[in-house]
Structure 1
């Protein structure tokens, strides 16, 4: 299964600016991207990076500097629309965000399997976003504004696409805010977690919650 991994090289992870410098945010974002690509490959996916600028990775890279919604819809049209026009079976395609540092092959296997059983399978993020999905319906389009999980469920309904939700803590945890760094230190074992530890971050329990703090 082809797996599109969107990646922004332009001021990545700006909401981490309180704890990481611009260079650190770039390096950390790249570590998470590498972890996601490794997990996709280990789940027998075929990763393709959809980047705003050229990026040096082992996987194929498509450069598209348009906003996320436009870039992903163009990629879906290129794959699903082309299959449909040829009149053959439409092969599912997945989209997995590059900041899912907790993703594992097993979690992705669940998503891919759900996407083989339904026209659209979505792993929602905390707060109602869309962190990963698989689609095989040629009319499916994305809209990443706001609570996009609800929007995508409605879009699937409008085109009579069978829809399935994949409830996964690992796929539902995208790393955007300083509080999310604790999740990486607790649950992840890849490059992103190692990068945080090398940068001096450790877990600290205070006031009944666990946070990532810089020593």
Structure 2
């Protein structure tokens, strides 16, 4: 199994701008990337990080630079793959080796782990004609592509893989459900769980 972890190295996580400054967003995104890489490795596969520019990664993975749009970069690798290929997004800070092992072992020509809002957070591709399309509601697009090429599809329903860390409100999920580098980064930066009025979020002690 080939596992690709795409990573947008330039100005990552802009939707976290209300909570983190640019340097913090870069550092935090690298922590999430390292957590995802560690989870993949502990699931039994050494991944390849496909980064838009060179990155130094304190984790067990090879890094290749490809500054093309995500769909083109992934599709070129699918076209040349001689074995099943998985794509796992770099902001899935809640991912664990156990859930990734289940994903990689799940049957079907195409296994799709949907994200919230119509995105696709992880894929396993075993059909030679399937290609990705990460624009817009990619979950629906991937179902359509699979149907068009005659590929069987299995939806992989997982809270941990459906939760990508994009918005400030997502940070609490890292504090509640993980114990990796991303959680340590948030704690070191002064974030903590804030429960009030029946709602749970984060606050930052500066």
The answer to whether the superposition gives a TM-score over 0.5 is yes
- Distance in 2 (alpha carbons) for counterparts of 1:69 and 1:127: 18
TM-score between the two structures when normalised by the length of structure 2: 0.96
Structure 1: 5+ residue stretches without partners: 84-90
- Please list the CA deviations of residues 148-172 of structure 1 after superposition, one character each: whole Å capped at 9, or x if unmatched: 1111011101101011000000011
Which of 135, 141, 146 is the matching residue for 1:151?
A: 141
Runs of 4+ in structure 1 over 2 Å off: none
The Cα shift of 1:69 comes to 1.3
Partner of 2:44: 44
Partner of 1:111: 103
Partner of 1:94: 86
- Distance in 2 (alpha carbons) for counterparts of 1:45 and 1:212: 34
Partner of 2:55: 55
- Distance in 1 (alpha carbons) for counterparts of 2:49 and 2:125: 17
The Cα shift of 1:122 comes to 0.7
Q: Say whether 1:180 aligns with 2:180.
A: no
Within a 5 Å distance, the mapping from 1:182-197 to structure 2 comes to: 182-197=172-187
The Cα shift of 1:128 comes to 1.4
- Distance in 1 (alpha carbons) for counterparts of 2:46 and 2:110: 18
Which of 29, 52, 70 is the matching residue for 1:68?
A: 70
The Cα shift of 1:207 comes to 3.1
Question: RMSD in angstroms over aligned alpha carbons?
Answer: 0.9
Aligned to 1:127, what secondary structure does the other structure show?
Answer: helix
Aligned to 2:36, what secondary structure does the other structure show?
Answer: helix
32-41 vs 145-154, greater mean Cα deviation? 145-154
Q: Say whether 1:205 aligns with 2:195.
A: yes
The Cα shift of 1:68 comes to 1.1
- Distance in 2 (alpha carbons) for counterparts of 1:158 and 1:206: 49
TM-score between the two structures when normalised by the length of structure 1: 0.92
Aligned to 2:47, what secondary structure does the other structure show?
Answer: strand
Aligned to 2:98, what secondary structure does the other structure show?
Answer: helix
The Cα shift of 1:138 comes to 1.0
Number of residue pairs matched by the alignment: 203
